[in-house]
Amino acid sequence: MSEKLFLFLTQEGVTYSSSSKIYPDVDNFQVLGYGKGVTEEEAFDDFIKNNQWLLETDFNEVISIEIKSKISQGKVFYLK
């Protein structure tokens, strides 16, 4: 079996749409990073190994999504 790439996200945390906002105003996911592994569990272990800083945050629940192509090969879209 070959390794797969997984993106790890959380619904926890807040996002501001601009630096002038006083309160968070975007309800979204926070991208925490990625990991590689034959299984999701192996990829999660790889993700944690390479992102030890996460263990010192208040994030609790992490969601994994398998990525079918390299992130750098994704299409770029512009809002403006």
- Structure confidence by residue, pLDDT tens digits, 34-76: 999 999 999 999 999 999 999 998 889 999 999 987 667 778 8
The total number of structural domains that make up the chain:
1
In a domain, 78, yes or no: no
Asked whether residue 79 is assigned to any structural domain, the reply reads no
Instruction: Provide the whole-model pTM.
Output: 0.76
Q: Bigger pLDDT: 76 or 31?
A: 31
Helices (H), 1-80: 40-49
pLDDT number for residue 41: 96
Amino acid 29: pLDDT = 86
79 against 55, higher pLDDT = 55
48 within some domain:
yes
Q: Could you tell me the residue range of the domain that residue 17 belongs to?
A: 4-73
Q: Which of 58, 77, 79, 66 is nearest to 34 (CA)?
A: 66
- According to the model, what pLDDT value does residue 38 have? 96
Q: Nearest to residue 51, comparing CAs of 10, 15, 8, 13?
A: 8
